[in-house]
A and B are shown apart, each in its own frame.
Chain A
Amino acid sequence: MNTQIHQTQKHYRTLVDIFSYPGKISATMESMDNYSTFGDGVLMTAVTLLDNEVTFHTTFKSDGQEISLLTGSEPGADIGSSDYLIVKEKDLEAPMFEEAAAGTLASPEKSATLVIEADSLHEGSRYRLTGPGIKEETTINISLEPRWIGLRNEKCKEYPLGVDMILTDSTNNMMAIPRTTKIEVI
């Protein structure tokens, strides 16, 4: 029987794999029936990682209620105090990068993770990625516009401070861009 325990384990291994190899696209095979407007990639990530010990931020209240119901996690007071920022590409706003927690020098893990449902992880702007997990370099084509990547780069300027990103698309492809990855527009 494929219970949620096995689903989240499988999804977690996908997350480990994409965090280990930034830019690598991996499709999650698990599906998560729910009443939110997000796809399986985002909801499986929420169900895998969120519980009552962490907080999250979403654009729409109804999505937040659904995520709370499924995970036991509560929305944070504001963007800066939320551990996970769960958002669709079309609803992205500059404060989600600017105000996101970047951790402290002594505790860089106290930073936010952005979970962004993008339109596509195959088409769009072209970027060159370098850093740990990447042999030489890799190029990606994602729908996320350079201005968002610019804000992200600004946030990750002072390593080890920064934010990590999990990107998904409507066909449940997933990609991770941790703070160590250098992103250049090409």
Chain B
Amino acid sequence: MVQNFAFLDEHSKKEIRRKTLKAIAVPGYQVPFASRELPIARGWGTGGLQLTLSLIGRDDIIKVIDQGSDESVNAVNIRKLIQDTTGVPETIDMNEATLVQSRHRIPEVPLRPSQILVLQVPMPEPLRAVEPSERVTKALHGDKEYSGAWIKMFEQIMKYGHVTDDADYPVLVNGRYVMAPSPIPRFDNPKMNDNEGLILLGAGREKKIYAVPPHTHVASLAFDDHPFEIEDFSDKVCRESGVSGVFMDELIDPDTGENYYVTNDTSYMLEQLNKEEEHVN
């Protein structure tokens, strides 16, 4: 079968490319785009995948992660599709990768200049919970009218004593647009602020592309008396690698019934374990 390089036809790529440049020029603003059909279902990473396919070239080295893992089904299938249609090499090493597609995590290793992180987004509209109409939310963004986002947080505080949004905690980008950072844990929100690389976000089902350029001010929404807080793992140590200060998964040991913690970013954990091994040898 004859197949176009990077799956998409050139007209589709052109459209995605035009919209992506606009997204970089207006940080945090959701640019509508004509989301194309792909061999995976909408809502399974098609937004991120279309961004990746429009960006990728023969000089790239691709890394695909799903909730911190390079080996989960979603990551493997997306990586296979990208590789089958481009022939580019893959890696799990952040230092090697030129292009990283991720679902719901920003890797522990900071982005370097000119490195691109593509995030898959299920719900790009931070005001959707308070306003169902797309026409209205577009107008609200235009007017910088974000009372809805604040009231949602205020109501959570009144009801539960704290903000209950864990993943997808809204941020204010460049002092202008309130943005859904995709369902990354709060732990990853500060990594978006003034980072070295480019972060592109794609929502295939919702047909939106948006971006956080390098060195852009990104602040998580918070009240003076209820400051933004990240998940606290300060007293937790990874059972497998002994590292701390990273985002961890809480698991239950089936034999003892006890809780334990493991580093969520598996390639980072592997890197640390390999370093340790080298040190011993």
State the A residues within 8 Å of B (CB). 5-6, 8-10, 12-13, 15-17, 19-21, 48-51, 53-54, 104-109, 111, 113, 132-135, 159-160, 164, 178-180
Contacts and interface: CB of A to CB of B under 8 A. Distances in A.
B215 A49 contact: no
A152 B163 CA distance: 42
A9 B56 contact: yes
Given A106-B141, A132-B27, A178-B24, A51 B14 contact: yes
Nearest to B4: A5
Nearest to A54: B18
B55 A13 contact: yes
B57 A9 contact: yes
B5 A6 contact: yes
B25 A180 contact: yes
A20 B20 CA distance: 11
Given A9-B56, A16-B116, A108 B26 contact: yes
B25 A164 contact: yes
B215 A134 contact: yes
Interface of B: 4-6, 10-11, 13-15, 17-27, 29, 31-32, 54-58, 113-114, 116, 138-139, 141-143, 174, 176-177, 194, 198, 213-217
A13 B21 contact: no
Nearest to A111: B22
A16 B55 contact: yes
A10 B176 CA distance: 31
Contact of B215 (A48, A108, A132, A178): A132
8 contacts: A6-B5, A12-B55, A15-B21, A20-B198, A107-B142, A109-B23, A160-B29, A160-B176
Contacts of B58: 6
A19 B24 contact: yes
B31 A180 contact: no
User: A15, A53, A132, A135: which has the most chain B beta carbons within 10 Å?
Assistant: A132
Given A9-B56, A106-B138, A180-B26, A53 B19 contact: no
A10 B57 contact: yes
B138 A179 contact: no
Contacts of A132: 27, 174, 213-217
A113 B5 CA distance: 27
A132 B26 CA distance: 10
Given A132-B216, A180-B174, A109 B17 contact: no
Nearest to A84: B18
A90 B23 CA distance: 30
Nearest to B60: A13
Contact of B214 (A5, A20, A178, A179): A20
Contact of A5 (B5, B23, B177): B5
Contacts of B176: 159-160
Contacts of B138: 106-107
Contacts of B142: 104-107
A48 B15 CA distance: 10
A42 to B, nearest CB: 15
A3 B232 CA distance: 51
Contacts of A50: 14
Contacts of A111: 22
A113 B177 CA distance: 21
Given A5-B10, A9-B56, A109-B29, 8 more contacts: A8-B13, A21-B114, A53-B11, A109-B26, A132-B27, A178-B26, A179-B25, A180-B25
A49 to B, nearest CB: 5
A18 to B, nearest CB: 10
B229 to A, nearest CB: 26
A17 B215 contact: no
A50 B32 CA distance: 18
A15 B23 CA distance: 13
A69 B213 CA distance: 34
Contacts of B54: 12
